[in-house]
Amino acid sequence: MSETLSLAIELISRPSVTPDDCGCQRLMSERLQAIGFNSEKMPFEEVDNLWARRGSEGPLFVFAGHTDVVPSGPLKEWHSPPFQPEIRDGLLYGRGAADMKGSLAAMLTATEAFVADYPDHRGSIGFLITSDEEGPSVNGTVRVVEKLQARNEHIDYCLVGEPSSSQRLGDTVKNGRRGSLNGYLTVFGKQGHVAYPQLADNPLHAFAPVMAQLCNESWDNGNEHFPATSFQISNLNSGTGAENVIPGNLSAKFNFRFSTELSDDIIRQRVTEILDSGSFEYDLRWRLSGQPFLTPQGKLVEAAQYAIRKVSGLTTELSTSGGTSDGRFIAPSGAEVLELGPLNASIHQINECVAVKDLQQLSHMYYHILKKLLA
């Protein structure tokens, strides 16, 4: 059993459902301290965060990740208990195996090997680990980055261990992410009896044509790095449950995944204009989850491409697809940010798993990135 596999098993066995870290960061901190890292706890409210750094000079290369996982779902549907890691047919099963405790294990063993080979390496290595990535993402990475900036610790390169690969390990890395903007809409009507519609005001009927306009709107055409902005309604609720009552109001939640062709201010303005074209009263609140970011070809991208090619022989694809990650909190500081991790096919699913062979290969990739940038 490789060191990476052994550590991954130990991390997965800790039921760290967000925001509970369940001792994962302490385990990582102890191993990092043993190889010369200064380790610092940065708790904010109920969230545990770890900042560990080896060295004081630049450039500063940071591994970023999270120890929290999503809930397991129905236990009876798992082929083995989600927090009792099990290897079957070359796959390691358990909640967090791919997202992202396998990556955390690979980061740590790669760093241990690199420090052993290059104890006097250039610059500094950091670990920014949170237990708030799968939750609201309010008291995790974003708060740590704010604190680091306040004391003038500047991250030059950041590698996030999110599961980026599609068919083979390293075939895809994420060099950017779309922005995410959430809307919370209430449309006001008047409740009444379905037999007397003239005495009521059905918010569903009033909102329907406006909803169709929002769904059919072409927000932009994207660009060479990002697909077109998308609009999706995630929740639509109205009515009392009775079949003979016209509802009094309607609530909707929707999300924009937007490219660098738009700003969140422009989206808000355009949505308001469309809503104002309807004949109803409404209330609209917004929550910005993150701005889009892009890391162009540079030292970090080149190091990752080199490492992947050296370990697996693949020519990797740069992509900005998928959801958000904590990279959105680090990129605005000016850091080059890249996401490289295992296959994402099973993340957040029942029987989440990662290929055992991929864990050690991922550790080798991380090692060669460190070597390229800091040796």
b (16+ CB within 10 A) / e for 288-310: ebbbbbbbeeeebbebbbbbbee
Tell me, what's the pLDDT at 45?
96
Tell me, what's the pLDDT at 344?
96
Q: pTM here? A: 0.90
Tell me, what's the pLDDT at 316?
97
pLDDT confidence band for 322 (50 / 70 / 90): confident
Tell me how far apart the alpha carbons of residues 107 and 290 are, in angstroms, rounded to a whole number: 25
pLDDT tops 90 at residue 250: yes
Tell me, what's the pLDDT at 364?
98
Cβ count near 232 (within 10 Å): 10
Q: What pLDDT, in 10s, does the model give residues 231-242?
A: 999 999 999 999
Q: From the DSSP assignment, how many helices (H) and strands (E) are in the chain?
A: 9, 19
pLDDT tops 90 at residue 88: yes
Helix (H) or strand (E) holding 11: helix 3-12
Angle CA 266–269–273, to nearest 5: 140
Cα–chain center distance at 182: 16
Radius of gyration of the chain (CA): 23
Tell me, what's the pLDDT at 323?
82
**Residue from 126, 203, 145 nearest 327 by CA:** 145
Q: Say which amino acid occupies 54.
A: R
Which residues are the active-site residues? 68, 133
Dihedral angle sign, alpha carbons of residues 129, 132, 137, 142: negative
Tell me how far apart the alpha carbons of residues 277 and 281 are, in angstroms, rounded to a whole number: 11
Tell me how far apart the alpha carbons of residues 372 and 307 are, in angstroms, rounded to a whole number: 8
DSSP bridge partners of 182: 255, 287
Cβ atoms of 300 and 159 closer than 8 Å: yes
Name the average pLDDT for the chain.
97
> Please, what's the largest Cα pairwise distance for the chain?
82
Tell me how far apart the alpha carbons of residues 132 and 140 are, in angstroms, rounded to a whole number: 5
pLDDT tops 90 at residue 18: yes
Angle CA 350–355–357, to nearest 5: 165
Strand 172-174 relative to strand 317-319, pairing:
parallel
What is the arrangement of strands in the sheet containing 172-174, beginning at the earlier edge strand?
Answer: 38-41, 49-54, 124-130, 60-66, 157-160, 336-339, 172-174, 317-319
pLDDT tops 90 at residue 180: yes
Cβ atoms of 20 and 66 closer than 8 Å: no
Q: Look-up: residue for tokens 């990556």? A: 103
Tell me, what's the pLDDT at 1?
85
Tell me, what's the pLDDT at 126?
98
Tell me how far apart the alpha carbons of residues 323 and 98 are, in angstroms, rounded to a whole number: 15
Tell me how far apart the alpha carbons of residues 124 and 58 are, in angstroms, rounded to a whole number: 6
Dihedral angle sign, alpha carbons of residues 80, 132, 2, 90: positive
Strand 60-66 relative to strand 124-130, pairing:
parallel
Q: CA dist 188 to 38, 92, 149, 282, 283, Å? A: 56, 51, 44, 6, 8
Tell me, what's the pLDDT at 85?
98
pLDDT confidence band for 327 (50 / 70 / 90): very high
- By residue count, the chain amounts to 375
Tell me, what's the pLDDT at 90?
98
Tell me how far apart the alpha carbons of residues 177 and 179 are, in angstroms, rounded to a whole number: 7
Structure tokens at 81: 């208990």
Tell me how far apart the alpha carbons of residues 316 and 305 are, in angstroms, rounded to a whole number: 6
Structure tokens at 245: 């009552």
Structure tokens at 161: 């261990």
Q: What pLDDT, in 10s, does the model give residues 138-162?
A: 999 999 999 999 999 999 999 999 9
pLDDT tops 90 at residue 55: yes
pLDDT tops 90 at residue 257: yes
pLDDT tops 90 at residue 324: no
Cβ atoms of 172 and 165 closer than 8 Å: yes
